[in-house]
Structure 1
């Protein structure tokens, strides 16, 4: 019982440390998503030219941070006419280039890891695009599209089908600060929390258990910390494997990344580990349902190679410029709750979150939560409350 209590204490301390940053990140993401319509996204992703992939990455960064929702949305874009490579670039951007991920990484790991994430993400997308052009044939793409058109539902399919952007014309500021804009931001904010909450809780619990129960000596031996070259070569190779087996995706893998960094994994290994949220076993099962077994194997191989390659490139680049932290002091366990800036920020942002939650439930939120895991057809029949310009009563 004492061991379980210790693990829960570690998980609780980490949760308290990152709470305000999570709320801030999701709020910024909600503001951006409220201004970007999905029809616009589909129109811009019709090929795999470099400019299109850059646009796909940026649109992904402005989209959902939930890995399951990102995978479902990428399939939806593919079915509506987006190029498969562009849809995958969007998927990578929406899980690895989002604001909330960068904020949490800076808070737990340090700004260098946030910078590495936003440098490594585009590198991974470039590698994925090159590998798709070289290895994936038109016949396989045609088979994947045929499978995608069958409309088999997966996790977060209903969430991916939702368009909660602000309706109407006018300037961005005018639409955002209108009653409909307030509603749209509240809807996106709450639905994003609902989408990632499971993975976040599981990730924190796993990170707490690993930090409390696994001795540093194990990680030091496992990551070859006494051999700098071997460690740098091994980290990006093993990082994605640890992520795949941990079943943790979205933002939930950042606390575990902090534990692994303190344990001795290389800088590039942390980056590759974070990227691998798109290859965990449940998501591989969804790929098989969406695109068939052959494309799933292609995605597994190409994504893994791109993650490893991006990890090596980031390790080399940041090492050359002396940007890799020398101290392994990621935030894993604090001394508990005290009246410091973290507590005051948590209180302020919890109040803000409460305001958004009230708006969400007063404008049809319960029905949206029920439809969240349902089919796109059910969502298409739903008239989103975010499209109602009238203020809530």
Structure 2
């Protein structure tokens, strides 16, 4: 009986967090779909051919406008690399597409506060710069050639089909594309496909967060995160944050609820930021790097990504402390609050209606077959979905 009550408490906390983040997720994926609908994959490949400042800037901007699914970002990065993008630009695109996307920022604001969203943006830009510098001095032509040879083998990872689908609409200008009569179809496609690609991570993240919040006592977190030693806690946080992420198996926006639990438990501000950054080095994705690029390049990515994530966490910690804007309140409302008649419930109802419109549009315009192709290779996909999606 006690076990059942404990499980029920964990599930209740997971649902409470889900209810709190529902409307931000719908809003974020809708805005992301609007941007993806006007930027084609062909445009990406043409502008990321080297590791100069211009290409890296475009890699960052394109990453910000892409899907937040870590698996799709990794698959698309390999595709861009195969089509001629530099390895550095492909990796920068990866970082931006999971750490600087619209939906992540909205989710952080709602669940943890604007300071965390600002830290994620500042830290993400800093991480791009650090990674480019590290690659410039340590990435050898032999390592790039090894990555290229393995990438050309075309070994499957996850979400290959989703990464290969280019459903952007055609048009002469940005506004012409955005306001075209078929833009709603493209937005609905991206909205549903992005949800389909990350819902497992969101559910796992909520369940883990709910279990940790319900079952792990506060005394454990205080000891683990050295809360009685503030200086040591600041040193430990950015180092241990990515390590927790690596073994949590949760990526993309799904790790934000877990970040909220870690923050309530006492991890440092920089530790939260580095934990969220580390969705690209969790164990399943490291295995995909091994398949895509080989063992040596996988190890190189792990080491360089970890160093940049930890370094960004430290810089954000001390910068925001100097500015006096690190939150002092560690209470996370979403962990304990239930459904109430408040602005959250009203916004959830409104955005659920919006989601329903997009899902219905997706189904009525023949989108269901695309869901079955999400795990396919580009070669297994019909040509009209592998290439640019034109107005219909």
TM range (shorter): over 0.9
Aligned residue for 1:75, secondary structure, equals helix
User: Which residue of 1 is the match for residue 338 of structure 2?
Assistant: 336
Equivalent position to 1:93, from 96, 111, 115: 96
Over the aligned positions, Cα root-mean-square deviation in angstroms equals: 1.3
Change in Cα spacing, 1:7 to 1:310, as seen in structure 2 (3 Å) is same
Equivalent position to 2:359, from 330, 353, 357: 357
Equivalent position to 1:48, from 27, 30, 51: 51
Equivalent position to 1:123, from 118, 122, 126: 126
Structure 1 residue 50, shift from structure 2 partner: 2.0
Answer yes or no: is the 8 Å Cα contact 2:378–2:386 preserved in 1.
Answer: no
User: Which residue of 1 is the match for residue 229 of structure 2?
Assistant: 227
Structure 1 residue 385, shift from structure 2 partner: 11
User: Which residue of 2 is the match for residue 74 of structure 1?
Assistant: 77
Aligned residue for 1:225, secondary structure, equals coil
CA distance in 2, matches of 1:388, 1:116: 38
Change in Cα spacing, 1:386 to 1:177, as seen in structure 2 (3 Å) is farther
Aligned residue for 1:333, secondary structure, equals helix
Structure 1 residue 149, shift from structure 2 partner: 0.7
Change in Cα spacing, 1:130 to 1:388, as seen in structure 2 (3 Å) is closer
Change in Cα spacing, 1:100 to 1:355, as seen in structure 2 (3 Å) is same
Answer yes or no: is the 8 Å Cα contact 1:156–1:373 preserved in 2.
Answer: yes
User: Which residue of 2 is the match for residue 7 of structure 1?
Assistant: 10
**More off after superposition, 379-388 vs 214-223:** 379-388
Structure 1 residue 108, shift from structure 2 partner: 0.7
Matches within 5 A, 1:265-280: 265-280=267-282
Answer yes or no: is the 8 Å Cα contact 2:115–2:327 preserved in 1.
Answer: yes
Structure 1 residue 61, shift from structure 2 partner: 0.5
CA distance in 2, matches of 1:384, 1:136: 31
Structure 1 residue 131, shift from structure 2 partner: 1.3
How many residue pairs align between the two structures? 389
Matches within 5 A, 1:105-120: 105-120=108-123
Answer yes or no: is the 8 Å Cα contact 1:211–1:332 preserved in 2.
Answer: no
Answer yes or no: is the 8 Å Cα contact 1:60–1:91 preserved in 2.
Answer: yes
Alpha-carbon displacement from aligned partner over 1:171-229 (angstroms, at most 9, x marks no partner): 43333233321110000010000000000000000000000000111001000011111
Answer yes or no: is the 8 Å Cα contact 1:128–1:302 preserved in 2.
Answer: yes
Matches within 5 A, 1:121-270: 121-167=124-170, 169-270=171-272
Matches within 5 A, 1:303-382: 303-379=305-381, 381-382=383-384
CA distance in 2, matches of 1:162, 1:304: 30
Structure 1 residue 389, shift from structure 2 partner: 2.9
Answer yes or no: is the 8 Å Cα contact 1:187–1:386 preserved in 2.
Answer: no
CA distance in 2, matches of 1:116, 1:69: 24
Alpha-carbon displacement from aligned partner over 1:124-178 (angstroms, at most 9, x marks no partner): 11111111122221101101001001111110001000001012x2343333233
Structure 1 residue 306, shift from structure 2 partner: 0.5
CA distance in 2, matches of 1:386, 1:144: 27
Alpha-carbon displacement from aligned partner over 1:332-360 (angstroms, at most 9, x marks no partner): 42432111111111001001100000110
Structure 1 residue 64, shift from structure 2 partner: 1.0
Structure 1 residue 331, shift from structure 2 partner: 3.2
Aligned residue for 1:283, secondary structure, equals helix
Any gaps of 5 or more consecutive residues in structure 1? none
Q: TM-score, with normalisation over the residues of structure 1?
A: 0.97
Any gaps of 5 or more consecutive residues in structure 2? none
CA distance in 1, matches of 2:387, 2:350: 27
